[in-house]
Amino acid sequence: MPPVVASPLPAAQPRPRAVAVPRPSRAEAEEAVRTLIRWAGDDPGREGLLGTPDRVVRAFREYFTGYEEDPVALLHRTFEETDGYDEIVMLKDIRFESHCEHHLAPIIGKVHIAYLPKNRVVGISKLARLVDVYAKRLQIQEKMTAQIANTIDEVLQPRGVGVVIEAAHQCMTTRGTHKPGTILVTSRMLGVFRTDPTSRREVLAMVGMPGVAKLDNV
């Protein structure tokens, strides 16, 4: 059997982007951390906190690398040689860490992605990376769910797309209402997964819903 050859799509059209906000200098970012330490009631000049501003700034660059990647370009390399495969493709239990845009508190959970190919498929690692692109931004879960599904639909143009996210929000479990063990579940269904109840049920059955299993290691 001849090797599978990747077939590039036509060049992606640039998407409208949010107005770029000038990024402060590293020194300004570190001073902002010192201000927050003082706001918390401690002394940023004491020995145990001297290196904290540097560590926090480096952590922020790691947490929010998603702003530096283009999700459409990430999915742009696809494969057409599938020997006629026309059933659901699903990648389950894609673990992610994100941050709530309201409190900067962690969101930790899993994403399940399903799509029904029309003419092409994409490498499964690209789906996992797509999750990271959107997760490593300030987020709300509902928006992240829609962003992942809409991007797959736009680039692959499949017959259907389904995205389900299950996540624990530490803005709710460690502050505010203090309700540990709660999990938010969101879904976005497009194409036949939205219009055909049978296809939708098949996707949800493959995910394991209803009766969402408790998240591990959250």
Contact between 200 and 193 under an 8 Å Cβ cutoff? The reply is: yes
By DSSP bridging, strand 77-79 and strand 160-169 are unpaired
d(CA 41, CA 31) in angstroms, rounded, equals 15
Helices 124-135 & 141-156 angle (0-180, nearest 10): 140
Contact between 120 and 7 under an 8 Å Cβ cutoff? The reply is: yes
The strand pairing partners of 166, in sequence order, are 110, 185
Q: Dihedral sign, CA of 121, 127, 129, 135?
A: positive
Q: What are the catalytic residues?
A: 100-103, 141, 169, 171
List the end-to-end C-alpha distance of the chain, in Å, as a whole number.
Answer: 44
Helix (H, G, I), strand (E, B) or coil at 126: helix
